[in-house]
Amino acid sequence: MKKVEKAPFTGYQKFVIFILAITQFTVILDFMVMSPLGDIMMKSLSLKPSQFGMAVSAYAFSAGISGLLTAGFADRFDRKRILLFFYAGFIIGTLCCGIVTTYPLLVAARIVTGLFGGVLGSVAMAIIIDLFDVQHRGRVMGFVQMGLGVSQVMGIPIGLYLANHLGWQSPFWLIAALSVCIFVFIMLKLQPVREHLKNNDNKNAFLHLWHTVQKKEYRIGFTATALLSIGGFMMMPFGSAFARNNLGISKEQLPLLFMVGGCATLIVMPLVGKLSDKIDRFKLFAIGCLWMMATVLVYTHLSVTPLWIVMIFNIAMMIGIMSRMVPASAIMTSVPEMKDRGAFMSINGSLQQIAGGIAAAVGGMIVIQKTKTSPLEHYDTLGYVVVSITLLSIFMIYRVSEMIKKKVQTEQAVNMLPVVEEVINTGQISLDTKHAMEIVMIAPDPEEKE
């Protein structure tokens, strides 16, 4: 079948990709930095694993609730304004994290940060869907989600260095300062994103939320997202504590470990993004899941291990995580209709955060550390739970993928109806109709694309 030549991104589209990527970098870094700071914070504030898990969950739960509350309004305003509003709140919350000195205040600050920061990912997703066609979204998602890799290559090592010398609060000051600069950049350079307003039917915000939740195909997508998040969040908060106390990684080696994993992410993510635009995204997702499950089962059973071996396992896990994250995100962008995109992405992001919060809290109850320096116990149990949930996520993403393929086939059939009617009525096809048929024929094959 003839393939459509992918047009290069315009200069403004490249800017949008960059600004969304760097925005996501700060949001991801704010959340991700909790994991490498975990060992320092648990020792400084005398926290048990369950308490630290709750501090991580506080962000996730507040982010989830915020997303649900704002979902009904997400398609009623210019997306640029929504992005600026929530990014401003995120900056304030991050500053609060840099001020607090006690556990209760830390939890409160994480709640404030989550209320605003948790919505930003869904706003970015809605902007991507509005500005980029489905054939290019895999590449766009690959670049935007590189914030995860950049945060590990640059943000986390720098944050750990500052934390080791200036205290665990200092990384939050760094994130807040960078975010202020990005906020100004968005305000001055990003154009309004209002195309979705043309399809707004002016429904009550809560009715719009209910209308979105009512759709069966949306609920299938929400369930798939929740399972993905549970599998991803359960191990992450205790990664640095496991590396320090179980694997024997020193405090000085920890930044290097995260940096190597981040470099792998920066290399793998764009490649996976390109692959997800060329081959069946579900197949790529399933391969990534199987790869990740194998590495997780081995990694969670390790004891004291040389640094270079731990690095290899971190790279392997990153390859698996990225190979499922990018295609899954690209698949989800094809689920909502234009009028529901903001609401769908807000609810989807909320469920992602809530599920992640539950995972972190449950993980904190499974893992035990008897003293500040003793090895974590039952970390291997987390590995088994993650593998089981990942198997369920493969089934759910399969359902979403098949649902989208049927949707594409139906749309193509509808596009062919005028051609059939013209043949029946006139016995011939006009040049305009022939041209339209050619466009339909070179459209993405539903067996290859979602």
- Please tell me the predicted confidence (pLDDT) of residue 450: 39
**Residue 262, in any domain of the structure:** yes
4 is a domain residue: no
Q: Which amino acid is at 284?
A: L
Angle (deg, nearest 10), helices 341-366 and 216-233: 30
Q: What is the pLDDT of residue 27?
A: 86
Residue 397 is part of which domain span? 11-413
User: How many degrees, rounded to 5, is the angle at CA 234 between CA 229 and CA 240?
Assistant: 125
Domain total of the chain: 1
Instruction: Establish if 326 belongs to a structural domain.
Output: yes
Asked if residue 183 is part of any domain, the answer here is yes
CA-nearest of 264, 21, 241 to 153 is 264
146 in any annotated domain: yes
| Contact call for residues 269 and 142 (beta carbons, < 8 A) | yes
110-122 as b/e: b if 16+ CB within 10 A: bbbbbbbbbbbbb
pLDDT for res 342? 66
DSSP 195: G
What is residue 1's predicted lDDT score, i.e. its pLDDT? 41
Instruction: Tell me how far apart the alpha carbons of residues 201 and 197 are, in angstroms, rounded to a whole number.
Output: 9
Supply the DSSP string of 293-347, one letter for each residue: HHHHHHHTT--S--HHHHHHHHHHHHHHHHHHHHHHHHHHTTSS-GGGHHHHHHH
The verdict on residue 444 lying in a domain is no
**Cα separation of 430 and 10, whole Å?**
34
Summarised one tens digit per residue, pLDDT across range 73-111 is: 666 778 888 899 999 999 999 999 888 888 899 899 999
**Cβ contacts of 270 within 8 Å, gap of 6 or more:** 139, 142, 143, 146
SS3 content of the chain, % helix, strand, coil (to 5): 80, 0, 20
Q: The tokens of 318 are what?
A: 């990153």
Residues of the chain with pLDDT under 50: 1-6, 440-450
Outline where 33-102 has alpha helix (H): 38-44, 49-71, 79-97
- What CATH number does the domain containing 141 carry? 1.20.1250.20
Question: Considering the domain boundaries, does residue 449 fall inside one?
Answer: no
Q: Looking at the domain assignment, is residue 418 inside a domain?
A: no
- Asked if 100 contacts 109 with a C-beta cutoff of 8 angstroms, the reply is yes
Q: What is the pLDDT of residue 178?
A: 92
Stated pTM of the model:
0.66
